[in-house]
Amino acid sequence: MAPQIKAGEYRQVVYLEKDLGTSRDAAGAHVADWQPYATIRASVEPISGREYFAAQQISETLSHRLRTRYRPDLTVNAQLRAVYNTRTLNIHSVFDREDAHVELEMLASEVVQ
């Protein structure tokens, strides 16, 4: 049986951006070209955090889980990132929970400097 989604589960508005990858710098290297892709309702949950010293600065990496209704166009190959409030989250994985085509789960990270 497919999982049931409770009313109000997806309370946050999340803006997805896609890297079109069409820009190059003077040396010919890829320059990220983030363009608006979709606006979704999702559940955004922090799942872990860690601090480490890098170049004598403290950087904090936060990991998040985003859950939303199933959409076949959202894949990890789409090179997506999520913008939520003032945060930008790099999406590392997208998978169909329980292969039921009901809910997607995305794992993402944010680097705060």
Rounded Cα–Cα distance for residues 101 and 95 (Å): 10
pTM greater than 0.75 (yes/no): yes
One-letter amino acid at 8 equals: G
Convert the pLDDT of each residue in 10-34 to its tens digit: 999 999 999 887 777 888 787 888 8
Which long-range contacts does 26-35 make (Cβ < 8 Å, 24+ apart)? 34/81
Could you read off the pLDDT of 89-105 as tens digits, one per residue? Answer: 999 889 998 888 999 99
DSSP state of 105: E
Q: Which amino acid type is present at position 21? A: G
Q: Domains in the chain, please, with CATH?
A: 12-112 (2.40.10.270)
